[in-house]
Amino acid sequence: MIAKVILPLPLDRAFDFLVPDELEEKIAVGMRAKVRFQGVERFGIVTAIEKESEIEGPLESVLAVSAGPSFSREALDFCSRIASDNLSPPGIFLNRLLPKRVSGVQERFFAPIGEVGDLISHLETLSRRTPRQAAVLRSLLVSEGPCSEKTLRDDLGSIRGTLDRLVEKGLIEETPPPGIVTQRLGDPPPWVKGLLQVPPCAGQALLFSDARWEGYAHLAKAVLESGKSVLVLAPEILLARQLHSYLQGRLEIRVELYHSGLSEGERGRIWESARLGQARLKQARLIGGTRSALFLPLDDLGLLIVDEEQDRSYKQDEMIPHYHARTVAAAMVEARGEGPFLLFGSAAPSLETSHAAKSGEITLIRPPVSPKEREVKIVSMNKEKELFSAELLAAIARTLKQGKRVLLAVNRRGSFQAILCKQCGQPLRCPHCGGNLTYGVRSAQLVCRICGTAQSRMVCPHCGSRALRFVGVGSARVEGEMKERFPSARVVRIDMDTLRTREQERVAERALRGEGEILVATPMVAKGPPLPRLGLVGAIGVDALLALPDFRAAERTYQYLTGLLGRLSPEQGSLGQESLKGEAIVQTHYPDHVAILSALDGDYDRFYAAEISERKELFYPPFSHLARLTLPTRGRRGQNDGEEHLLSLLHQFEVEILGPAPHPTRRACQVLLLKGRTRGAVREACAAAQQGFPRIEIDIDPERI
C-alpha cells in the first residue's frame, strides 16, 4: 500500500511513501503522517492511498500517523483548490491549516432518552442490580435539560464508566451543551420571514442593513432545526467575540468560536468537533469565527454568513495563499451545488458586492431604513492649529456631563502617523522590512509596526540626520491628551497594541459592553452594533484614509465613517429626562468630499453613483480583476533584461499592465499591477509569470495595491 503525502514545502506535488503492515488499518486520507524526506523527519498530510506507486525503486516508509485532527476528504479537496486558485503550494497551506493536537476533553452533557414512564421502570431494575447507574439516571431525570458530566461527578463522584454503560443501554445520550440564553428571540424581521417561507438553499444574497444580528440568529435557528450546520464570520477577533456572545445569548445551543488567537489544542478540539459533527452528536452545529473558520470540515453546512463583508481584514495578505474570504465563500457555494446559502451582510457594502447585487448576480435584501435620531457635524481643520477643534472638545465635555460615553476614532495606532526627516525629506522606514517607523512613547524608541524592530537612536536611517518632523496623530497620543484634559473620566484605548494578551482583550470587551467614559480606538472598532450609552463619536485624522495611494481610498473612508455612526447608541433619555440624540463630529481638511458628505447623510446611493462611474472609466473593480506582482531585484544580474522579459511575457495575455514601480515598503522590489476583464484571464497571466520567474510573489484580487 502506498500513501501520497504532501509536505509543507514550496512544491506543487505529493510524494509516495510505503505504508508498513502495522499502519495499514490506521492510515487514512486527510490524516497527518510522519515521514522521512531527504534525511529529515517531517509531518505531512495524506492526500491519497493507492495500491502501488509509479515511482521505480525503493520507497521510504511512513513512520507514524497522528491520532490528532484530520481533514475530511471534502475539506481536503476544497482547501487544495483554494491554494491552486491562488497559485500557492498546497502543502504549505494544508499543513498550516490543520491543528496539530486536541487539548484535553471537552465537557460532556447528557440527557435521558424515551418516555419518563419507561425510564422509571428501568430505574427500579437498575436500583436492584447497579445502584450507581440508577443514581446517575435519577439525577438526569430530575435535571432541567441536559446535565454536565462535571455536575454529576460533583454529586456522585467518578461516573465516566457509568455514563458510558448507560449510553450503551440506550437509556441516556450525549447531547450538545445547552446555550446560555440571556435574551429570547422576538419575532423575526420581515426580510427574515420572506426567506424562511422558502427555506434557504444554494444561493447568495446581500443583506444591506445596519441591523443584522437579530436576523442572523433567526436564520441560524431555522437552518439548525433543518439538521444543517451554520458558520458565521466576522472580520476580526474582537468583533467575532461580540457576535459569538450575541448568538450564544439568544440560541439554545452552544456556539463555538474559532480563530487564530486560540491555542493549538483548542483549535484542534473545535476542528475535530466540526469534522465529526452530526455523526457524533446527532445534532447540527453553530460556529462563529474569523476567516480561518472557512476551512473547518463542516460537510453538512447549510448557512454561511459573512458579516461586514466589505472589511479588508477578510483578505489574507500576511502569508500565502493570498485568498479573500468573500471569494472563498462564493467558491464554497459553487463547489457544493445544493448548499450552503451564502449571506453577505453590511451597512456599507463593497462596490464589488453591491454591483453584483444591482446587476442581479446575487439577491439584494435591503430593508427600509428608519430615520436616525442623531446630529452630525463636519469641522474644517484648514484653519485649526490644534489636534482637537473647539467644537469637539466642547462636545466631549457636554456628553460626559450628560452621563453618556465618547468614542474617538483614530486612523492609526501609536503617537504619530509618520516621522519625516527634515534633512532628506524621506519618511523614516525600517531598515529590515521597509515599513514606516513610528514613535513609541513608553519605550522612547522608533518602532516598526510590521516586524517589531526597535531603534533607540532618534536618527534618520537614510542620512543619519537628527532633525526629525513628527506628523499626524495616533491613538496613543489621543489617549494621552484625553487623560490630561479630562482627568476624572476613565479613558480606554483599543488598538493592536492594547490587545496583545487575553486580559487586555477582556478589558476591551468590557469597554465595548459599557465600561469607561472615553474610548480611543483605531478603525477595528468602527464596525458592529451600537455601543451602550454612546452619545458622541469623534473622527480624528480621517484625511489619512482619503490620502492613501489606493483607488479604494474614498470607499474606505465612506465605510469607516458609516461604521462609526452605526455605533452610536439608539437609547433615549429615561422617563422625565430630556431625550439625548447621538452626535457625530468629523474633523477634516476636505469638508466637501463626496465620501464624507454621503456617509454623514447616510446616502449610499449618492456615493455609489459617483464612485462606480470613476471605477468604470479607470477600469478598476468591479469592472476588472487585479493582480499585484512583486518581483525581488536585490542582487540580480541583468535586472533590466529580466523585467523586460517579464513584460514581454505578460503582453501575450489579455491584461493591462501598470508599472513596474518601486515597492512602497520593501527595498529592492518592483511591483506590477495587472488588470483583466475576468479573474481567469488574470490568473492565467500570473501563472505564466510564476512559471518563468519562480521568485515572484503573486496576489490576485489584492486589497492593497
Given a cut of 90, whether residue 592 has pLDDT beyond it is no
Say what the pLDDT of residue 575 is. 34
Residue 303: domain span: 190-365
139-197 per-position pLDDT tens digit: 888 776 778 887 788 778 777 788 888 888 888 888 766 666 667 788 888 888 777 66
For the four alpha carbons of 289, 294, 296 and 300, in that order, the dihedral sign comes to: positive
Percent share of the chain, pLDDT over 90: 27
- C-alpha–C-alpha distance, residues 49 and 42, integer Å: 19
Residue 595 domain-assigned (yes or no)? yes
Q: What is the mean pLDDT of residues 218-238?
A: 90
* Same domain, residue pair 77 and 120: no
Query: 9-23, 213-227, 358-372, 411-425: which range is least confident on average?
Result: 411-425
Helices marked H in 31-111: 73-85, 90-97
- C-alpha–C-alpha distance, residues 417 and 131, integer Å: 71
- C-alpha–C-alpha distance, residues 157 and 321, integer Å: 50
Say what the pLDDT of residue 579 is. 42
Residue 341 domain-assigned (yes or no)? yes
Say what the pLDDT of residue 574 is. 38
Q: What is the mean pLDDT of residues 551-572?
A: 84
Q: Domain tally for the chain? A: 5
Domain boundary among 66, 97, 128: 97
If phi over 0 gives left and psi between -120 and 50 gives alpha, with beta otherwise, what is residue 602?
left
Residue 588: strand, helix, or coil:
strand
* Same domain, residue pair 650 and 559: no
397-414 per-position pLDDT tens digit: 999 988 888 888 887 755
* Same domain, residue pair 591 and 505: yes
What are the cell numbers at 544? 489619512
Angle between helices 237-248 and 213-225 (to 10 degrees): 60
* Same domain, residue pair 515 and 660: no
Residue 424 domain-assigned (yes or no)? no
User: What CATH number does the domain containing 26 carry?
Assistant: 3.40.1440.60
* Same domain, residue pair 225 and 243: yes
Say what the pLDDT of residue 559 is. 92
Residue 9 domain-assigned (yes or no)? yes
Highest mean pLDDT among 57-66, 106-115, 320-329, 688-697: 320-329
Q: Where residue 508 falls among pLDDT bands split at 50, 70, 90?
A: confident
* Same domain, residue pair 169 and 195: no
* Same domain, residue pair 509 and 649: no
* Same domain, residue pair 214 and 344: yes
What are the cell numbers at 606? 449618492
* Same domain, residue pair 392 and 507: yes
User: What CATH number does the domain containing 383 carry?
Assistant: 3.40.50.300
Domain boundary among 340, 365, 390: 365
DSSP letters for 111-146: EE-S-HHHHHHHHHHHHHH-HHHHHHHHHHHHSSS-
Given a cut of 50, whether residue 576 has pLDDT beyond it is no
- C-alpha–C-alpha distance, residues 428 and 469, integer Å: 10
Q: Where residue 349 falls among pLDDT bands split at 50, 70, 90?
A: very high
Q: Which long-range contacts (CB under 8 A, 24 or more apart) does 440-447 make?
A: 440/414, 440/415, 441/415, 441/476, 441/477, 441/480, 446/419, 447/414
Backbone angles phi, psi at 683, to 5 degrees: -65, -40
- C-alpha–C-alpha distance, residues 28 and 19, integer Å: 11
Residue 464 domain-assigned (yes or no)? no
Angle between helices 639-650 and 679-692 (to 10 degrees): 150
Q: What is the mean pLDDT of residues 361-387?
A: 83
Which residues make Cβ contacts (< 8 Å) with residue 149, sequence separation at least 6? Answer: 107, 108, 109, 110, 159, 160, 163
Residue 454 domain-assigned (yes or no)? no
* Same domain, residue pair 511 and 597: yes
* Same domain, residue pair 313 and 202: yes
- C-alpha–C-alpha distance, residues 381 and 388, integer Å: 9
* Same domain, residue pair 130 and 158: yes
Between 580 and 225, name the one with better pLDDT: 225
Give the number of C-alpha atoms closer than 13 A to the C-alpha of residue 458, restricted to the C-beta side: 13
231-240 per-position pLDDT tens digit: 999 999 888 9
Round the average pLDDT of the chain to a whole number and report it: 82
Say what the pLDDT of residue 686 is. 92
Residue 453 domain-assigned (yes or no)? no
User: What CATH number does the domain containing 679 carry?
Assistant: 3.30.70.600
Residue 443 domain-assigned (yes or no)? no
- The residue type found at 91 is G
